[in-house]
Amino acid sequence: MSLNIKWISLLVLLLIPRPTFHWFINKFVSCVHFTGKVTQK
């Protein structure tokens, strides 16, 4: 799971310019946190 996330992050890094990448990472991190909370419950 974490390996997949790392590879996806690398791909995104290569494909997306910096400012958009930073915004995307913020969205992605909040999505992951939300999913983690839902999974824990």
Residues in the chain: 41
Tokens, residue 17: 């310019």
Euclidean distance between CA atoms 30 and 36, whole angstroms: 10
pLDDT at 34: 87
pLDDT at 31: 86
Helix (H, G, I), strand (E, B) or coil at 17: coil
Domain boundaries, the chain: 2-40
**C-alpha closest to that of 9 among 24, 36, 35:** 24
38 vs 7, which has greater pLDDT? 7
> Which amino acid makes up residue 5?
I
Q: Are 23 and 31 in contact (CB under 8 A)?
A: no
